[in-house]
Amino acid sequence: MYIRRHLSETLRKAMGQFPAVLVTGPRQAGKTTLLQHEAGDAFGYVSFDDTMERSFALTDPNGFFDRFGDRPVILDEIQYVPELLPSLKLRIDRNRHRNGRWLLTGSQQFHLMRNVSESLAGRIAILDQLPFSIAEQSGRGELSLEQILWNGCYPEPALNPEKRELWLRAYIQTYLERDVRQLQNIRDLRAFEQFVALACARHSQEFNSAFFSRETGVTLPTAKSWAGLLEASYLLYLLPPFFNNLGKRITKAPKLYMLDPAIVAFLTRQPSAGAALAGAMGGALFEGLLVVEAVKAFTNRGLKPALWYWRSHDGLEVDLILQRSGKLVPVEIKLTTTPLPTHLESLKRFRSLAGEESCEPGILVCRVTDEQPLPFGIMAVPWQNFPIWLARNIEDGEHATLPPPLEALNLPDELKRMA
């Protein structure tokens, strides 16, 4: 069963504007399936997982390309043959105005992005295909929160829950033994496995590199490097804090979210779907699912996620902040089915500091059955409706890639000092 991906529309726009389009993302997120369904039979197809195709492309790039004639082509897993990119550039430049002829996929960011930027700058659009969003899965009928958290969002276990255990074990092992060693020469694989498991245990918490260094017995630079590796290979997302300027955002601690809840449940040894949601990890799994849903809402539009969180010195925290029409929109995420005044304190505090002219009242995403108004202009939104809310509130355009300077929003000094 093919579920049409929300990236499809963005892909078609990119194909109409660029000679080549690269769809990158984690393994088995549906990149190849997306391209084959959207491109159709008119496109040729080559996978560089095939060692024979890889050898042909490297030893005789002209002969490799000539076999397709004038036909458009899907080049799958292009990261295995970065040496082919200069030859592809020459082919593109011969007919620069023919858009959408070359469709590429790649699963790893580090070396792939460097090679693409060096060889195909200005000639290629780069899109991220992540695992299913809640919005995409909603087309399959009503799914419970427990099902989504337990089976995750990768197409294979999401569509075939009976394969969950074997698929997750194989996926993690393949990632550790194959992808990691290709991206970085990690000598102590056991310590890295502990690092990945610790990242799952710290899901939805601040990333403290000193803590990870101490717990895994590696140096501080190594801990930071490994976090970057997890992010580059699409296992982890680091949500930056909202601060006054770019420099301060970089120097303060981001929050750590694993991109798939099933991997978190698996590596933290949750016994069942119900136990995972009801246990100590329930709130973190719920928060992570919705933060990553917001990330997917941006990437499916071809946008860099413009998302932040805010935490005051006295412990109040807003889980998500985005921008709409020049105003900040705070979002609080709670597993509760019964909103209480205490759940609104962070939203109320943030808006009072930011000022009504610069900040919306915000929303509380939780497990209520219907949208309902709350005090201070805040709205309670059912978690199932959060994707719809995101679709209405994410703006296309360059302004969506960076936050506004706090000075431009006329925020009071107290808010700028709250970090």
- Model confidence at 293, pLDDT cuts 50, 70, 90, reads very high
Say if residue 69 is in the same domain as residue 162.
Answer: no
- Look at residue 200 and tell me if it is in a domain: yes
- My answer on whether 246 and 360 are in the same domain is no
Same domain, 261 and 164: yes
pLDDT in tens, 350-376: 898 888 888 999 999 999 999 999 999
> What was the pLDDT predicted at 109?
60
Interatomic CA distance for residues 207 and 74, integer angstroms: 38
In a domain, 396, yes or no: yes
- Residue 177's domain is classified under what CATH number? 1.10.10.10
Q: Mark whether 155 and 271 lie in a shared domain.
A: yes
Per-residue model confidence as pLDDT tens digits over 68-80: 999 999 999 998 8
Is the model more confident about 242 or about 414? 242
**Residue 48 pLDDT exceeds 70:** yes
Cα→Cα distances 326→184, 299, 322, Å: 41, 21, 10
pLDDT band at residue 419 using 50, 70 and 90 as cut-offs: very low
Burial environment of residue 327 by CB neighbours within 10 A (0 to 12, 13 to 18, 19 or more): middle
Are 177 and 273 within one domain? Answer: yes
Number of domains in the chain: 3
In a domain, 295, yes or no: no
Domain that residue 363 falls in: 308-416
Q: Is residue 293, in this structure, part of any structural domain at all? A: no
Asked, for residue 1, whether it belongs to a domain, the answer is no
Segment (H or E) for 330:
strand 327-333
- Residue where a domain terminates, one of 128, 151, 168: 128
Backbone angles phi, psi at 212, to 5 degrees: -65, -40
Same domain, yes or no, for 88 and 120? yes
Q: What is the pLDDT of residues 86-116, one digit of tens each?
A: 999 999 999 888 999 999 998 766 566 667 7
358 and 408 both lie in a single domain? yes
Q: Following DSSP, what letter does each residue of 283-326 receive, concatenated? A: HHHHHHHHHHHHHHHHHTTT-----EEEE-TTS-EEEEEEEETT
**331 and 366 share a domain?**
yes
Do both 263 and 190 map to the same domain? Answer: yes
Domain limit, last residue, from 95, 128, 161? 128
Least confident of 166-175, 252-261, 385-394, 404-413: 404-413
Q: Does the predicted model carry a pTM greater than 0.85?
A: yes
Answer yes or no: do 24 and 103 share one domain.
yes
In this structure, are 180 and 269 located in the same domain? yes
Confidence of residue 326 (pLDDT cuts 50, 70, 90): confident
- Looking at residue 54, which CATH number applies to its domain? 3.40.50.300
What is the rounded average pLDDT of the residues 17-33? 93
Say what percent of the chain tops pLDDT 70. 89
Order of strands across the sheet that contains 327-333: 308-311, 317-324, 327-333, 363-366, 379-382, 372-373
